Structure 1
Amino acid sequence: MYEPKNEPMNDLASYTVYITGIVQGVGMRPYIFKTAEHLGLRGWVSNQGSGVVMEIAGRRISIREFLKVLSENPPAGAKINRIKIKPQCYGEYPNFSIITSSSNSSDNQLPGFIPPDTAICDQCIKEISDQTNRRYLYPFTNCTTCGPRYSIMKTLPYDRVNTSMAAFEMCPACRSEYESPDNRRFHAQSNCCPDCGPKLTLMDSKGKQLDSGSIHPVAAAVQLLRDGRLIGIKGLGGYHIACNAQDEKAIDTLRKRKRRPEKPLAVMPASLEAARLICRVTDKEEETLTSIQRPIVLLKKRFPEILPKNIAPGINRLGVMLPYTPLHHLLFQEGLQYLIMTSGNVSGMPICYQDGAALAELRDIVDFFLIHDREILTPIDDSVVRIIDEEVMVSRSARGYAPSALQINSDSECEIMAMGAEQKSSLCLLHQGFAHATQYLGNLDDMNSYQEYLQVMKNMQVLLGAEPQFIAHDLHPGYLSTQWAMKQSAAKIPIQHHHAHMAACMAENSLTEDAIGIIYDGTGLGTDGAIWGGEFLVGSIGSIGSKGSKGKFARVGHWKYVTLQGGDSAVKEPWKSAASYLYAMGVESKEYLASVSSLKVKMIESAISNNINCFQSSSMGRLFDCAAALVMGKTHITYDAQAAIELENAIAAEVTDLTDFYPYFIDEKIDEEIDEKTDKKEEKLEIGYKEILSGILSDIKGGKEGKEGKTPGYISAKFHNTVCAATIDCVCKIRKKRGINNVVLSGGVFENTYLLRNLKVGLKERGFRTYYHRKIPTNDGGIALGQAVAAAHMIKEGNYVPGGSSKNCQD
């Protein structure tokens, strides 16, 4: 920041000030206006492009004070990235004013930022509850500090004309508020009231409007919820399917109609106090629940459960979010305490947000619709977070958290579009030194998700005014994202899946030194054609590894390959992973997979012996599936990572000694390739699974033979402890050879709280500096960021081959 020095404090001065960050849609201009007037300053302020620009004139001491206040105490929801100041010749201004916005910034080097949607503020809640207020019971009440932003934007700057609120002309009363500097709705772009704003309509499942007479549509909807009916509710970024969370029968109906038999459902309590009755809530969890983001927070259940067990069967956590729109608060006005609020979609498809599509796709699921006429331009689901060691860790980055912008430590000025992964997809646009990550966009194997994915890509480029010169993508040729990338004229940079995981974590933590990457996930195509997922990498963001030429990363260890059979079906049927591992060990599967027909097991074994539809895998996700099938009898799953989640939930509380683990063996193999620097072959570490699974089978068999058998909770704890012990042992061996003390943890398996927490502790005790994800999802939702930053560093260092070559990757 420019600061005048050694100048008389009573001199007059004039400056042009450029502000970047999340500075639009957060009341920045009204805030600047009021602050400038309070300090006797004159000039103007305007939204320009995606930033805020002002000219300010007055006494230097007042300008100093103005800049200090702006830097240290910006409006709620604002995140100032940079304040750039240019001295100007002193100019006379009659006053301070807010002038017309411009789509072009007067300084085209200013990076753009997109404001996320935010939860309703306390003042607006008071208004909708006050019978004397003109906004009493009005479900679209908002002000300069709260309400929809990203979901209703067409383009920047954030002005009403560039949003879906342009369809609603403000009435005289709202216009007066908008133009009054003393009003908290001064320049609130989405300002409205019952006389001029959006309206609610209650419909039946066929789309026929219901005449509720003098009854408010929300009150009618509440009565329907009390009666056990399911309602499709149009919210901030899409539709929810809602039902009474205290009605077990209604929940069963929802599960059957949505074909979602076991996946946990999100619960919305009426208040924080209601949340405390069903879950344990720490101070940090309370802070997160009540934040302006209002995410779904994964909380520990209270036992005995007072809500029906069919909300989240088989696990000890509930996904809880507090009301975040006026409509949500109104739904609880009539005494309801808990609602199920699950995404409004058919299972496996993206969230519905357009009225026509919702009426067509949800009519066989819901009994009624509560809709409104404010158009949602960009769909965005609810964010999901968990608190680990007093830190917020984002599992699904969506409403309130996305789009996000992360400053990148790279001198590369190129623009890169990173395509992300196939599952839990997101996009990342590297533009003017910032990585702009989109919201969670679902799985691309669904065509509707894929179409929405392409639309969000287009919107992101329009909003930021970007024209990517490079496209970074996954190695897997079968991914729709890769196939789309290969058809484009821009230069293409392939990034190996686990390299991207590691790069994302390093970028989030601003780690530029070499690190050891522990990357544990379910699926990612390796450079040798195998499916990786239990990997140990070394190096930096762009050029992982010192082995070989620049740009090639070194994979210095992994979990031992197993031949898996079944392709994608192995993910949905954990027993296939168990059968594959047992076959590799020469163990008869029938004894341990009694609930699976002998014929099916024999077919798997025959297919493996004849190499039919088989693949080599080092996946940690499949090892967890194997353990869950053996220990928990979990042969099939109905939602992503269900087997691993239930295995973690089974951990016995009494097993706290991390030294209680199964035997394991780390083989030090000689790599086939020669290090170009040392002209020698290097060793590669390989963690075996035979000893670990043999220990599990022994504990299981003890009970089968009438001996004192071990409980599933005990075996699960011991298995988790073994993974921790083997991982730490392997990292210590790598440090001894490489001299690296930084360790990066990434990949979807680190959604496992027990594993993450105990690895952090164990590594710290051995003197490692450990880095992991908080703002960016550790799962495949973070892949796009990793691709973008890895590609940027490769371009800077000249370590890429355009046109789709994978030269930058080396096993």
Structure 2
Amino acid sequence: MPQRRALRFEVFGTVQGVGFRPFVYRLATGLGLDGWAANAEGHVAGEVAGSPYAVDEFTARLSTGAPALSQVRQVRVTAARGQLPLPASGFAIRHSDADHATARGPREIPPDAAICAACLSELLDPTDRRFRYPFINCTDCGPRATIIEDLPYDRVRTTMRRFPLCAACAAEYGDPADRRFHAEPLACPACGPQLSWDALSGEAALRAAVKAVESGGIVALKGLGGYQLVCDATDQTAVRALREHKHRPAKPLAVMVQDVGGVRELARMSRVERGVLESASRPVVLLAARGSGLAPAVHPGTRRIGLFLPTTGLHHLLLRELARPLVVTSGNLADEPIATGDTEARHSLDAVADGFLTHDRPIRARYDDSVVQAVGRTVLTVRRARGLAPAPLPLPVATPVPLVAVGAQLKHTFTLADGYGAHLSPHGGDLADAATLDGFMHAYDHLVRLTGIAPRAVAHDLHPGYLSTQWAQAQPLPRIPVQHHHAHVAACAAEHGLRTPFVGVAYDGLGLGDDGTLWGGEILVADLTGYRRVGRFATAPLPGGEAAVRHPYRMALGYLHGTELLGSPRPYPWLTRGFNERLDPSEAAVLRSMVGRGVNSPRASSAGRLFDAVASLLGLADTVSYEGEAAAALEEAAGTVRALPLAHRLVRVDGLWVYDPGPTLNDLLERQHVGEGVPALAAAFHLTLALVTAELVAHAVDAGAPRTVCLAGGCFVNRRLLTEVSRRLRAQGLRVLVAREVPVGDGGISYGQAAVAAARLSKE
């Protein structure tokens, strides 16, 4: 009898819900091996037996030939146990069973994947039995994270369990040669979910939705991770109505188009950007808009537009029927969680939508659309959600105990970490009230159950007013406070695997410093366990506190009348005439008095608030509807204009290098007074901040700081600032890093907190 060898294998990583067991089946049978495979506690386990050569080849190919949607992180091979697979018994996929595991490993949840080319071809093929079936999918695409209720990943533990397979689908599910072999979301018109519009179903429901959009209406559509609001992106009246009902007056709206040809009609697109648009994650990609036929209200005040391609069969059908670009935005009112349940959606969106195109497949987890942008050949994540989350990210230093990092307040996320792995939750919006806190807690409970991570420590921001901090303080767990800007730069460092010290540049809106004051323009020398502040922006008052964030003219008054250092602006009437004429005289007098007496005017060293002040002084934004709107207007005004820098100076204060914006604002006002245009002045301000940053970092390096620099904070969503700063730092021979998979803004805070907490716990 020929020599025979048997072994047991366990494969860890993103290997459930991505066609990995069918891949293992085809690999084993192709090599003539006997045995079995099954999902087991978040990974794939099994046994094989056959010739030594075939067994060795099998183990080698487990990681090298895995399906595109999978991520193999570890292959563990041990001796087979119990009764070995008999010769010529064949290979089988067994029902999943947690008992198949020899040891508990990390559990990874696959993100949703956009419809693949093969399924799209069937969707549009009149001879195919899934012709025009909106919920078509296979092992290479379809819902994953949004339908999983528990692991191991099998249909009975997804929201698809209520749809028994028909005979035809069951045959595909059991056929190793079929693309739908063990595809858990498998469905067809005979046995799967169905569309509905009031009393209408199927094609009639779809036609009703199409008619509503054609008539200028707004449709609430049940998507993968929640409801979406859809209208004609070329209809100014419809888009304005959507903005009014959704309470979103200015923030740009995402637009979905049928294909890359539709993208080219609306925007300029690089090869890198096209690759991201067509990827399985299908994020919204921020692109440079052409002079297009879109309604002006889609992206007012900016030449950048968020475009994305269809993610599901339903989106493809809508776009083909309507033959026009569609606004497809989150199904919620401003500052509320996205609606996922049908009753919830009808309650919250009834005043917005003219009709509901829904279906009977429940959404188990809330996922908004991801947003990315390309800066040169680098793709940066602005919002990590559908298609990207909750795929795990590595930690440079393993946490010795499972932990949760609860993030900050704006653009909220949380992170679960165990060992070297961190699961960053999808974007949850601003954690500002009971509704969003409830959404966070539901998402937390669900991700804890799926990952199997039971936290034994909690990391949180220093700010006591954040709901995330208050939630952390209420937990019966050891707490690890992490300063806001340390978390920002640590997120960048951790993504790049840094374990050694670095210089961190953290520019954002506001974060509580370890001295109890508000920070936001910081130069830190840090590692993952700690930091020291070596540079900062000078402080300025925020007249009225949080009201100054919503009203940039208040920040302008704060800088004009209360900047920290001697170089403060001289508010000569002829320099500020245009600015003062826009203000209510009595209110301006009250605000100046507040600043002068230090009443309700907390001080902040914030780069983001300086952007607000300059935007207001240039007449670009006096009042805003969302955080970052003024800075976006300033970036838009600068465009690609070349300009000379504004005056600036650095001074030493209490051992720190401090940027005094006084000379910068004086110069800006004087150049404005003599007639220099807004675009040139906006460009000059960006250039000046880049020069200031390079000088602050140079002082730190001259004093012995490392030559690796991590850029972080929401200000670096600004492409011009990021490009200008990076160029000047690299010109000094420095290594410059920016986060890519982790959001550079507050959406990455929780990951940074997790990295810091892991390093501190490991050190202790």
Shorter-chain TM-score: which interval? over 0.9
Counterpart of 2:672 in structure 1 is: 700
CA shift for structure 1 position 66: 2.3
Does residue 1:106 correspond to 2:126, yes or no?
no
Aligned position for 1:92: 85
- The 1:540–1:46 alpha-carbon spacing in structure 2 relative to 1, beyond 3 Å, is same
Q: CA deviation at 1:73?
A: 2.3
1:610 aligns with 2:600: no
Residue of structure 2 equivalent to 1:580: 558
Question: Which residue type is aligned with residue 159 of structure 1?
Answer: D
For residues 540 and 527 of structure 1, the distance between their equivalents in structure 2, rounded to whole angstroms, comes to 16
Kindly indicate whether the alpha-carbon contact (under 8 Å) linking 1:632 and 1:647 is maintained by their aligned counterparts in 2: no
Q: 1:119 aligns with which of 114, 122, 130?
A: 114
1:735 maps to 2:727: no
* C-alpha displacement of 1:220: 2.5
Matched, 1:449 2:436: yes
Q: Which of 663, 667, 679 is 2:647 aligned to? A: 663
Partner secondary structure for residue 337 of structure 1: coil
| Alignment counterpart, residue 269 of structure 1, candidates 257, 261, 265 | 257
**1:43 aligned onto 2:63:** no
Q: CA deviation at 1:540?
A: 0.8
| Structure-2 residue corresponding to 1:687 | 659
For residue 524 of structure 1, give the secondary structure of its aligned residue in structure 2: strand
Measure the CA separation in 1 of the matches of 2:347 and 2:85. Answer: 60
Partner of 1:244: 232
2:692 is matched with 726
Q: Name the aligned partner's letter for residue 83 of structure 1.
A: V
Supply the distance in 2 between the matched residues of 1:538 and 1:182 (Cα, whole angstroms). Answer: 57
Superimposed CA distance per residue, residues 237-271 of structure 1 (whole angstroms, 9 cap, x where no aligned partner): 11111011121211121112212221111101111
How far does residue 590 in structure 1 lie from its aligned partner after superposition? 5.6
Q: Does the 8 Å contact 1:593/1:633 carry over to 2? A: no
2:754 to 778, 788, 796: 788
Q: Is the 8 A contact 1:243 1:251 kept in 2?
A: yes
Aligned pairs for 1:467-616 (under 5 A) are 467-543=454-530, 553-584=531-562, 585=568, 586-587=570-571, 591-616=578-603
Q: 2:689 is matched by which residue type in structure 1? A: V
For 2:626, which of 630, 635, 639 is the aligned residue?
639
TM-score of the two chains, using structure 1 as the length reference? 0.91
436-445 vs 61-70, greater mean Cα deviation: 61-70
In the alignment, does 2:53 pair up with 1:61? yes
Deviates more, 1:248-257 or 1:471-480: 248-257
Contact 2:10 2:43 in 1 (8 A): yes
1:578 Cα deviation after fit: 0.3
Going from structure 1 to structure 2, the CA distance change for 1:590 and 1:601 (only over 3 Å counts) comes to farther
* Aligned pairs (5 A) from 1:404-415: 404-415=391-402
**What corresponds to 2:190 in structure 1?**
195
- Structure 1 residues 269-418: aligned runs within 5 Å: 269-302=257-290, 304-418=291-405
Residues 403 and 456, structure 2, Cα contact 8 Å, conserved in 1: yes
Q: Deviation string for 1:44-95 (max 9, x for gaps)?
A: 1010001111211112222232233332221121111111111337933311
Question: How far apart are residue 739 of structure 1 and its match?
Answer: 4.1
What amino acid is aligned across from residue 668 of structure 1 in structure 2? R
Equivalents in 1 of 2:539, 2:233: separation in Å? 45
1:20 to 7, 12, 32: 12
The letter for the 1-side match of 2:751 is L
CA contact (8 A) 1:116 1:149 kept: yes
Q: State the SS of the aligned residue for 2:399.
A: coil
Aligned partner (choices 225, 244, 247) of residue 259 of structure 1: 247
Distance in 2 between residues matched to 1:654 and 1:116, nearest whole Å: 40
Which of 624, 637, 650 is the aligned partner of 2:637? 650
Structure 1 partner of 2:565 = none
Query: Which amino acid is 1:169 matched to?
Result: P
Q: Give the whole-Å Cα distance in 1 for the aligned partners of 2:174 and 2:292.
A: 51
Looking at structure 2, the residues matched to 35 and 398 of structure 1 have their Cα atoms a distance apart, in angstroms, of 33
- Secondary structure class of the residue paired with 2:618: helix
Q: Name 2:415's counterpart in structure 1.
A: 428
Q: In 1, distance between residues paired with 2:368 and 2:740?
A: 19
Shift of 1:192: 1.0
Measure how far apart 1:215 and its partner are: 5.2
Q: What amino acid maps onto 2:85 in structure 1?
A: E
**Among 797, 800, 810, which residue is 2:763 paired with?**
797
CA distance in 1, matches of 2:668, 2:153: 58
Question: Compared with structure 1, are the counterparts of its residues 411 and 323 closer, same or farther at alpha carbon in structure 2 (3 Å cutoff)?
Answer: closer
Alignment partner, residue 207 of structure 2: 219
Query: Match for 2:67 among 61, 75, 96?
Result: 75
Distance 1:32 1:602, change over 3 A: same
Q: TM-score with structure 2 length normalisation? A: 0.96
CA deviations 1:760-785 (Å, max 9, x no partner) are: 11111111011111000000000001
Contact 1:21 1:79 in 2 (8 A): yes
Whether 2:721 is the aligned partner of 1:755: answer: yes
Q: Is the 8 A contact 1:503 1:542 kept in 2?
A: no
Letter of the structure 2 residue corresponding to residue 717 of structure 1: A
In structure 1, C-alpha distance between the alignment counterparts of 2:533 and 2:455, rounded to whole Å? 30
| 1:632 to partner: Cα distance | 3.1
Whether contact under 8 Å (2:399, 2:757) holds in the other structure is no
Q: Does 1:33 align with 2:25?
A: yes
Does the CA-based 8 Å contact 1:50-1:105 persist in structure 2? no
Q: Cα distance, 1:652 vs. partner?
A: 4.8
Contact 1:502 1:541 in 2 (8 A): no
Give the length in aligned residue pairs: 751
Amino acid across the alignment from 2:78: K
Report the 3-state secondary structure (helix = DSSP H, G, I; strand = E; otherwise coil) of the residue aligned with 1:412: strand
2:451 aligned with 1:459, yes or no? Answer: no
Number of the residue aligned with 2:159: 164
Query: 2-side partners of 1:39 and 1:633: how far apart?
Result: 67
Whether the 8 Å CA contact 1:663–1:692 is kept in 2: the answer is yes
Please say if residues 428 and 440 of structure 2, whose CA atoms lie closer than 8 Å, have aligned partners that are also in contact: yes
| 1:787 aligned counterpart, secondary structure | helix
**Residue equivalent to 1:744:** 710
Q: Does 1:144 align with 2:139?
A: yes
Shift of 1:153: 1.0
Task: Give secondary structure in 1 for the equivalent of 2:463.
Answer: coil
- Deviation of the 1:517 alpha carbon: 0.5
Spell out, residue by residue over 1:604-644, the C-alpha distance to the aligned partner (whole angstroms, 9 max, x if none): 11112222211110010000000000113410011221110
- The answer to whether the 8 A contact 1:51-1:105 is kept is no
Tell whether the 8 Å contact from 2:256 to 2:325 is kept in structure 1 after alignment. yes
Q: Do the aligned residues in 1 keep the contact of 2:398 with 2:419 (CA within 8 Å)?
A: no
Q: Return 5+ residue gaps in structure 1 as ranges.
A: 1-9, 204-208, 544-552, 672-682, 703-708, 799-811
What's the secondary structure of 1:46's corresponding residue? strand
Deviation, structure 1 residue 319: 0.3
**What is the alpha-carbon distance in structure 2 between the residues aligned to residue 386 and residue 281 of structure 1?**
11
Assess, with a 3 A threshold, how the Cα gap between structure 1 residues 68 and 632 changes in structure 2: closer, same or farther: farther
Shift of 1:335: 4.5
CA distance in 2 between counterparts of 1:215 and 1:554 reads 62
Unaligned runs of 5+ in 2: 563-567
